[in-house]
Amino acid sequence: MRLLFATSNQHKLMEVRSIAAPELEIVGLKDIGFEGELPETCDTIEGNSLQKAEYLYAHYHIPCFSEDTGLIIDAIDGEPGVYSARYAGENASFDDNVNKVLNKMKSHPIRTARFKTVITYYTGKDYVQFTGITEGEILQDRKGTQGFGYDPIFKPVGSHKSYAEMSLEEKNAFSHRKKSFDQFANHLRQIAV
Ligand code: IMP
């Protein structure tokens, strides 16, 4: 089965391909020549996830799935949350966003945080959403060089490593994205029978 994943983020594409069963061929936006930006103007992760899938369906008329992810930090009222991609400004880099979090969290004693991913599978007629959450803590400084985004400052519960110190396989043992994708894959299996 061939599935269109509404993302231009090559890291996300790589992660999802590493999770998906071999019979699922996951195609990203670059593979179909889509160069634009997907809209993300809602104020919830669920809303943004749906918005991306609806937008893509409107352009290509083929079923697709999308995902939206946010890092939710308790000590700063759930920030960056839905603004995770542009926390330090519209064209902020991963580094800029991480610096902003580290500055805001400087010497803050409460470090608890979670990643939340919402996958939307949009068939054109209706949609279904799958949520994956991973609890963890925000480190005092960056650790590791793998992965992307906030990986260097997020350490999941049950690990002594940050996400950025893990191989893809190790990250998948904890990953918010894998938790939501596994539910989605299960749904696909159920509707195929
Ligand atoms: P998006 O809006 O779903 O593309 O993601 C928002 C932002 O969250 C991204 O730009 C990354 O900075 C961050 N992010 C998403 N997933 C991850 C992850 O697995 N690890 C670290 N950061 C992530």
Domain ranges of the chain: 2-192
Can you give the pLDDT at residue 193? 62
Q: Which residues contact 91 (CB under 8 A, 6 or more apart)?
A: none
Index of the ligand 1 atom closest to the CA of residue 49: 3
Q: Is 180's C-beta closer than 6 angstroms to any atom of ligand 1?
A: no
pTM attached to this predicted model? 0.95
Q: Which of 68, 95, 141, 182 is catalytic?
A: 68
Average pLDDT value over all residues in the chain: 95
Index of the ligand 1 atom closest to the CA of residue 70: 8
Confidence tier at 70 by pLDDT (50, 70, 90): very high
Residue range 154-167: mean pLDDT, rounded: 98
Can you give the pLDDT at residue 189? 84
The CA-atom distances, in angstroms, between 179 and each of 39, 50, 55, 173 are 24, 18, 24, 9
Is-catalytic flag, 68?
yes
84 CA to middle of ligand 1, Å? 6
Burial class (CB in 10 A: 0-12, 13-18, 19+), 100: middle
State the Cα–Cα distance between residues 34 and 7, nearest whole angstrom: 10
Which CATH number applies to 2-192?
Answer: 3.90.950.10
